[in-house]
Amino acid sequence: MMKMNDYIEIIDKKLDEYMPVKYPENIFKSMKYTVTLPGKRLRPVMCLETCRMFGGNFEDAIPTACAIEMLHAQTLIHDDLPCMDNDDFRRGKPTNHKVFGEAIATLAGDALLTFAPQIILKHSPNMGAEKLLKIMEEYFHAAGAYGVIAGQVVDIESEKSSNLSTYAALNKPSELLDYIHTHKTADLFKLALRTGAIIANATEEQLEEITEFGQCLGVAFQVSDDILDETSTFEEMGKTLGKDKAAGKLTYTSLYGLEEAKCKVACMLKKSYDIMNKYNIDSLVFDEIITGIKKRVGN
Amino acid sequence: MMKMNDYIEIIDKKLDEYMPVKYPENIFKSMKYTVTLPGKRLRPVMCLETCRMFGGNFEDAIPTACAIEMLHAQTLIHDDLPCMDNDDFRRGKPTNHKVFGEAIATLAGDALLTFAPQIILKHSPNMGAEKLLKIMEEYFHAAGAYGVIAGQVVDIESEKSSNLSTYAALNKPSELLDYIHTHKTADLFKLALRTGAIIANATEEQLEEITEFGQCLGVAFQVSDDILDETSTFEEMGKTLGKDKAAGKLTYTSLYGLEEAKCKVACMLKKSYDIMNKYNIDSLVFDEIITGIKKRVGN
């Protein structure tokens, strides 16, 4: 059975291969810079492993897995811009706009949004048109205004009104927070899982199961991020921390406190395990991922 | 035979229909704001007319035509951002970030990049998977780092080195300018023409002809834009003018002067006509478009 590091090695090699630096060089360098920053490659790993779990050949999912990592990098580049979260560091390195300037960073994010699905179409010659279209639909949905961007928009707007009573008039804060976590984080997890499953010809029922699993895992991961923003250090995380709190952002810890947040992580991971057991999902990799999230928050 | 205004009416109606304002409202409003600013709808009109010219039913091309207008709006929103051209007005109205703020404007541009192809997939149920994939490929190519973004990158970088000798060391300025015009403008024209032709089941040869036509028309249009940046007024154009010159941008007029630029427009339009005649293209709409560009520069 494959382990995380086996997949990470494959993904890193392919990301490099799929992204040659062409003219005009600055844009390709900028795109590649953030995509290839060392990382855990959680989303592409989950895509490959899901494909394997459902009886597919994980190699068929490599272009899609890499495309999802590119999409993830796109969200990081634009989220870090001065007009958004204004972050100077990401994974221990200067953020994209710090290296290439704001204009190129903006364009690099734009370019990745269409470069990523291009990689899928170009490198999946045997997938069949119908399946490719299904994957395109999943990609567009997760990447756009119904997916990760919806989460980012509500996240930004939550910052503006630090007085929670403002929300109360519109929605309950807890509902808003669920909305942000679902779209900002879980949607890309679900994209990774669903496309991996689709490539393996999973049934509709299996797709639903894996989507539920992705929702739990995504929320667990995002709440653990909220916790680390308060409790971790720059050296551990490679990015500036404590910013959410300073900005008055709506996070799980700001709303419920640290202890409650840790309980939430434990609860969502328990749910993820339950789903794995219920559907007889046998995966070292998802064990590693769940254990990793547990360790992040010291559970 | 259809005229421009017939198509414009259809496109405007469909753009409105394809873009309902959902939660979170600000992002959908921001996307729709720029897409539905009154305009000539050149690119979608060209898509529909090309489909008709090659024997297709232009109605089959409506979702694709509208998607191309959305992509065009995306480039406008991001080009107008403070970190790019920093423009306050577009089509006589405040630019997107002036209305919605920079963060939402950035995200609206991002969202349009995947919303547009989603519209094609969603509203073209009878097109067949193979043809849809072809259109996706055309879209990704034109929208990305090999297309319109390549043009924008080189355009921005041309601004930095106002001393043309800097280019001379790298490329001839005339080559750089061709590169900028080809990618920044002609690539979206070619996308409109090629997808219209593909929907009508045009042959490879016809695709090449129409691509050549799009290249000439695109360059003519961009050079006419360079001219108007020097000679027109805010009231006529609905945007701040004279900025290219002030920024030391590489434009056709900065490189060759106004008179030479007018000759270039005339020459490219003559070429467009020749291609139309050579291939027996009978189109009131392209007559109107070519006459429109001629009038723009007083030829």
Per-residue pLDDT, A266: 96
Q: What is the pTM of this model?
A: 0.96
Could you give the CA distance from residue A40 to residue A230 in angstroms, rounded to a whole number? 21
pLDDT in tens, B125-184: 999 999 999 999 999 999 999 999 999 999 998 876 654 444 444 568 889 999 999 999
Q: How many Cβ atoms sit within 10 Å of the Cβ of residue B88?
A: 13
Tell me what percent of the residues of chain B surpass a pLDDT of 90: 81
- Give the model's confidence band at A161: pLDDT under 50 very low, under 70 low, under 90 confident, else very high: low
| Beta carbons of A24 and B150 less than 8 Å apart | yes
Q: Give the distance from residue A89's alpha carbon to the nearest chain B alpha carbon, in angstroms.
A: 19
| Beta carbons of B137 and A118 less than 8 Å apart | yes
pLDDT in tens, A247-299: 778 889 989 999 999 999 999 999 999 999 988 888 999 999 999 999 988 86
- Residue A93, classed as helix, strand or coil, is strand
Domains and CATH numbers, chain A: 4-296 (1.10.600.10)
Contacts 24+ apart (CB under 8 A), A4-9: A4/A40, A4/A45, A4/A285, A4/A288, A4/A289, A7/A41, A7/A44, A7/A45, A7/A48, A7/A49, A7/A58, A7/A285, A8/A40, A8/A41, A8/A45
Could you give the CA distance from residue B253 to residue B181 in angstroms, rounded to a whole number? 13
Spell out which residues of chain B touch residue A81, defining contact as CB-CB under 8 Å.
106
Question: Measuring CA to CA, which residue among A215, A247, A213, A216 is closest to residue A229?
Answer: A247
- Residue A202, classed as helix, strand or coil, is coil
| Beta carbons of B78 and A107 less than 8 Å apart | yes
Could you give the CA distance from residue B291 to residue A60 in angstroms, rounded to a whole number? 51
- Residue B165, classed as helix, strand or coil, is helix
Spell out which residues of chain B touch residue A161, defining contact as CB-CB under 8 Å.
none
| Beta carbons of A140 and B118 less than 8 Å apart | yes
Mutation pick from A97, A153, A176 vs chain B, by most beta carbons of B within 10 Å, is A153
HSE-CB at A62 with a 13 A cutoff on CA atoms is 21
| Mean pLDDT estimate for chain A | 93
Whether residue A82 has a cis bond before it, omega within 30° of 0: no
Which chain B residue's Cα is nearest to A147?
Answer: B111
Spell out which residues of chain B touch residue A152, defining contact as CB-CB under 8 Å.
107
- Residue A172, classed as helix, strand or coil, is coil
ipTM of this predicted complex?
Answer: 0.95
